[in-house]
Amino acid sequence: MVATKRVFHVGSRITDGLPEDLAPVLPPLWHSFPPQHPFIIYFFSILIFLLLLINLIGNGLVLVIFTTTKELRTPVRTHGRLYTWSESEILLSALQSNLLIVNLALSDLLMMTTMGIPAVVNGFFTHKWIFGPLLCKVYGCCGGIFGQNFFNIHGITFITYQEYQSPNL
């Protein structure tokens, strides 16, 4: 990686040099910020890349273990024994916990693959968004779906509620 010397002029903005088709996508607030030092961009690109690797390994292992271990997918293994209603309820609750954890692992994996890869590519190679305005909107939508709004927050809420309801697992 060759470090390039950048000279920023007084009054330059972070949005200078962006294609005109991205102007409607950016809020006006972005036009008031000065350019960032390249070290900051490289630092966060490396950090996101490392988090992406850790995420792929950790959440990938969770998904592989869940799909290959039948005991984690089956609520009741009877072995000829009859369970009482409360025992079968506890076993079903354990399956629900496993499914919620798999849901959380899958949403984290999807979030890092849809959000991390474009961020690393832009940070290392161009320092600007290169994928166009449509993928900029899709990128933001994926961040909202996989990151904050739907899967992660609701999954963590359901896990917490379930643990509160059945603390004897």
Confidence at residue 87, expressed as pLDDT on a 0 to 100 scale: 54
Question: Considering the domain boundaries, does residue 144 fall inside one?
Answer: yes
Question: Considering the domain boundaries, does residue 9 fall inside one?
Answer: no
Tokens read off for 102? 């798999």
Residue 132 neighbours by CB distance under 10 Å: 13
- Distance between CA atoms of 55 and 116, rounded to whole angstroms? 10
Q: Where are the beta strands (DSSP E) in 65-152?
A: none
Question: Considering the domain boundaries, does residue 126 fall inside one?
Answer: yes
**CA geometry: angle at 106 spanning 101 and 111, to 5°?**
125
Question: Considering the domain boundaries, does residue 25 fall inside one?
Answer: no
Question: Considering the domain boundaries, does residue 6 fall inside one?
Answer: no
Question: For residue 97, is pLDDT > 80?
Answer: no
Position with higher pLDDT, 43 vs 157: 43
Confidence at residue 22, expressed as pLDDT on a 0 to 100 scale: 83
Q: 8's torsion region: left (phi>0), alpha (psi -120 to 50) or beta? A: beta
Question: Considering the domain boundaries, does residue 29 fall inside one?
Answer: no
Rounded-to-10 torsion of CA 156, 162, 166, 168: -30
Number of domains into which the chain is organized = 1
Domain containing 58 equals 42-72+87-165
Question: Considering the domain boundaries, does residue 15 fall inside one?
Answer: no
CA 71 to each of CA 49, 52, 90, 169: distance values in angstroms, whole numbers, following the listed order = 34, 29, 15, 15
Question: For residue 169, is pLDDT > 90?
Answer: no
Tokens read off for 26? 């950016």
Question: Considering the domain boundaries, does residue 3 fall inside one?
Answer: no
C-alpha distance across the termini of the chain, in Å: 51
